[in-house]
Amino acid sequence: MQTSTERVIYNRAGQRVVSPDYLLFEAPRTKHFMTGSEAVKEAVKRASVDASVSYPITPQSEAAHLIGELWVEGYVGVYFRGESEFGVMSEVAGCALAGARTITTTSGPGTLRAFENFPMWAGTRIPVQLVLMARGVNAPLSIQPDNLEVGFLLDTGCMIWYAENAQDLFDMILAGFVVAEQPSVHVPVVTVVDGFFVSHTREAVMLPPDDIALPPYNPYKAPMPVIDAEVPPGRFLRDPFVMKSNYISYATHASWQWEVRSAIERSRPFAKHYLRGLIEEFGDPSAELVFVACGTAAAQSKEAVRLLEEEGIKARVIKLKTIRPFPIEELRQAVKGAKYIFVPEFNVVGWLEREVRRYLYAYSDAEVIGAPRVAGGMTMPAEVIVKEVLKLTGKEVKHVI
Amino acid sequence: MSYKIYEINEDLLDVMPQEIRDLQFKATWGNPKRGVMDLPYSKELIEEHSLCAGCPESMALRYILASLPNPEDTIIVNSTGCTSLVFPHIALHTVHSLFGNQNAVASGIKRVLEWRFPDKVKDVVVLAGDGATVDIGLDCTLQSFFRQEKITTICFDNEVYANTGGQESGLTMKGHVFKMAPKGKQWDKVPMWQLAIDSGCHYVARLTVSSPKRVETVIKKAIYVAREVGPTYVHLYTPCILEIGLNSDDGLDEMRQRDKERFAFFEYVSEPAKEVIERKKEEGLL
């Protein structure tokens, strides 16, 4: 809290600048009823955002419209619609290279059209925030929710965070800037939320007042010089030129790739602090039946735990808040004593199951079951999750219609 | 801006090659009247480069860099290709991002710099080859014109994808046999200068780089107009002598020949651009 003797600082929009800890943890909050898209607007409004570029694609379009409204209201400095997702992610790169706190949003096929940009973002160490409202990828044409594209994004060098609901999304967007911009981290952050299920549904969200905001981005603290011709060193190429075929250039390129990935690792303590841990646990800690999930799959798993209780089966949920960095130690610790690990997912390939298996290999004796898995826009009723469990135990399936 | 950006760290000064030292001590900064006539006496922001011997593109780069009215506050955005082989050797802030997205990246940079530094002049110049500008990047190029981005786009037209080994491009002439057009190119050269006019550029020029002074005037006009009015486009013929089978010393003759035909000097100036150009002439800057 700022006292009367302190100098009060305001950002360009006239909001009082407060510390991230104050904004995220201490400021009084009031309850609002809103969609996930509106929660994006509320977060951006309090984030001292400098620039945003948008492109329409369902289901993220509404969030992008609302950022445009914030630009009109003076909360965002630069805003326009680009020519395609590829163009937008390039324009966003330009904004960030020129020293702006930058955010954009996309969904499903747009993510893939823009794809070449994501490793470039990470390689140029720009802390852009991409809010990904996950959706199916064609073909056949679909606008329905799915999260297959997250599997593609995992190894681009960007941090990947996963929000369960509108509240998570609001808090993660604010925390995302803070963590991504740490000088020791300074890589992009992709904040994922399941499209439609969160973007288009209304729920209660606790919001701090809107006349306070995060401290503005200081591009001169970045580990790479900002491209504004204001500060040395200047005589350099932002993209280290390592195309020549010699040992030093191979080594330079390789070490840079490692450095980007190390930067994600260095985000752990910051993410742990601002997200209040990389995982969240729900249910009976002694239960041998465990769901490992992220996003709305975690929400549905929590419902399944309640239904299973009626069946006399104890279960618990480990919700992963970050996928990159993956909460390796947290997960290993949390599954101690587990006999069965279910990984419910909203995609056909089961990328989260692969991740869970990879990190639990030789650390857990539990059986990992990649189910249930829905795709193509289907919801995942808690009963479907329960059914999978009951199939395993040989019990009668009562809850499923 | 800070001139310190261009100063070599004092502790490293004695071990730096002469080429690099010259960039600091013999380059021209802070003088909007700088131009190609300074070339014999100064070092024009570019050291030795790795382009082919006699490559007209290297001449073009030298003239362009000598002509920038505001190099100390100029950001150059380039793309993958032969030009990207030169950028590590240029003493300016340069950005290479991907192939074909140079005008999109430049749009982001320009808008943010204008917002962050409303009282300063920061020029953003895009410099890329014909493949990046007219083929893979045509969407981003034209859309930046439609959006009236205040950037200058310079296309090095060598009528071929040179850096990847000689594939036909959108700017290759019809009928020309190149790799990936083994029966000869099937359609006409894209009239990019006309597309630029139709898409909203306020100053458009087409020329070869056979006349340094003319390159200087065109580049200065393009930058001054972009700074105040909107997008500008310069189309330069910089033949790939390697791919069309010429000797190292044949580049200049090739350009002089094309001066009279498909690269005859052509200039378009919009009404608001005319006003800027006249004013700059009165100020003695053109």
Q: What is the pLDDT of residues A325-363, one digit of tens each?
A: 999 999 999 999 999 999 999 999 999 999 999 999 999
A197 touches A289 (CB < 8 A): no
Please give the span between the terminal C-alpha atoms of chain B, in angstroms, as a whole number.
24
Q: Least CB-CB distance to B105: which of A78, A93, A230?
A: A93
Q: Least CB-CB distance to A99: which of B8, B95, B112?
A: B112
Count Cβ neighbours within 10 Å for each residue of A37-73 and write b for 16 or more, e otherwise: bbbbbbbbbbbbbbbbbbbebbbbbbbbebbbebbee
Q: How confident is the model at residue A1 (pLDDT cuts 50, 70, 90)?
A: low
- The answer to whether the Cβ–Cβ distance between A239 and B95 falls below 8 Å is yes
Q: How confident is the model at residue A234 (pLDDT cuts 50, 70, 90)?
A: low
Whether A223 and chain B come into contact, CB under 8 Å, resolves to no
Q: Which positions in chain B touch A232 (Cβ < 8 Å)? A: 2, 4-5, 7
- The answer to whether the Cβ–Cβ distance between B111 and A80 falls below 8 Å is yes
Q: What is the pLDDT of residues B161-191, one digit of tens each?
A: 999 999 999 999 999 999 999 999 999 999 9
Could you tell me which residues of chain B have a Cβ less than 8 Å from any Cβ in chain A?
1-2, 4-8, 23, 72-75, 77, 84-85, 87-88, 91-98, 101, 104-113, 115-117, 122, 139-140, 143, 147
- The answer to whether the Cβ–Cβ distance between B108 and A120 falls below 8 Å is no
| pLDDT, mean of residues B243-261 | 95
Q: How far apart are CA A166 and CA A360, in angstroms?
A: 30
| pLDDT, mean of residues B131-144 | 97
Side-chain half-sphere CA neighbours of A136 within 13 A:
15
> What pLDDT is recorded for position A243?
63
- The answer to whether the Cβ–Cβ distance between B143 and A87 falls below 8 Å is yes
Burial of B17 (0-12, 13-18, 19+ CB in 10 A): exposed
3-state class (DSSP) for residue B156: strand
Q: Report how far Cα A106 is from the mean position of its chain's Cα atoms.
A: 12
Q: What is the pLDDT of residues A375-387, one digit of tens each?
A: 999 999 999 999 9
| pLDDT, mean of residues B223-228 | 98
> What pLDDT is recorded for position A280?
98
Q: Which positions in chain B touch A233 (Cβ < 8 Å)? A: 5
Residue A240 has pLDDT above 70, yes or no: no
Q: Which positions in chain A touch B2 (Cβ < 8 Å)? A: 229-232
Give this complex's ipTM: 0.95
C-alpha separations of B125 from A103, B75, B232 in Å: 25, 6, 10
Q: How confident is the model at residue A246 (pLDDT cuts 50, 70, 90)?
A: confident
Q: Which positions in chain A touch B91 (Cβ < 8 Å)? A: 234-235
Percent of chain B with pLDDT over 70: 99
Residue B14 has pLDDT above 80, yes or no: yes
pTM of structure = 0.95
- The answer to whether the Cβ–Cβ distance between B104 and A51 falls below 8 Å is no
Q: What is the pLDDT of residues A206-226, one digit of tens each?
A: 999 999 999 999 999 999 889
Residue of chain A whose alpha carbon sits nearest to that of B47: A235
Whether A91 and chain B come into contact, CB under 8 Å, resolves to yes
Q: Least CB-CB distance to A86: which of B7, B101, B122?
A: B101
Q: How confident is the model at residue B192 (pLDDT cuts 50, 70, 90)?
A: very high
- The answer to whether the Cβ–Cβ distance between B95 and A238 falls below 8 Å is yes
> What pLDDT is recorded for position B49?
80
Percent of chain A with pLDDT over 70: 94
Q: How far apart are CA B76 and CA B128, in angstroms?
A: 10
Q: Report how far Cα B163 is from the mean position of its chain's Cα atoms.
A: 17
Q: What is the pLDDT of residues B77-123, one digit of tens each?
A: 999 998 888 887 788 888 988 999 999 999 999 999 999 999 999 99
| pLDDT, mean of residues A75-90 | 98
Burial of A256 (0-12, 13-18, 19+ CB in 10 A): middle
A118-127, A290-299, B38-47, B124-133: least confidently modelled range:
B38-47
Q: Least CB-CB distance to B98: which of A99, A116, A229?
A: A116
Whether A83 and chain B come into contact, CB under 8 Å, resolves to yes
Q: How far apart are CA B69 and CA B38, in angstroms?
A: 13
- The answer to whether the Cβ–Cβ distance between B95 and A80 falls below 8 Å is no
| pLDDT, mean of residues B231-236 | 98
Q: How far apart are CA A374 and CA B197, in angstroms?
A: 51
Q: What is the pLDDT of residues A2-14, one digit of tens each?
A: 556 668 999 999 9
Q: Least CB-CB distance to A99: which of B1, B116, B147?
A: B116
Q: Least CB-CB distance to B143: which of A83, A92, A99?
A: A83
CA dihedral B256, B259, B263, B269 (to 10 degrees): 130
Q: Give kind and range of the element (H or E) at residue B255.
A: helix B251-258
C-alpha separations of B86 from B55, B82, B209 in Å: 12, 7, 17
Q: Least CB-CB distance to A98: which of B74, B94, B112?
A: B112
Higher pLDDT, A254 or A261: A261
Q: Which positions in chain A touch B122 (Cβ < 8 Å)? A: 228-229
Whether A119 and chain B come into contact, CB under 8 Å, resolves to no
> What pLDDT is recorded for position A250?
83
Residue A239 has pLDDT above 50, yes or no: no
B267 pairs with which residues across the strands?
A: B205
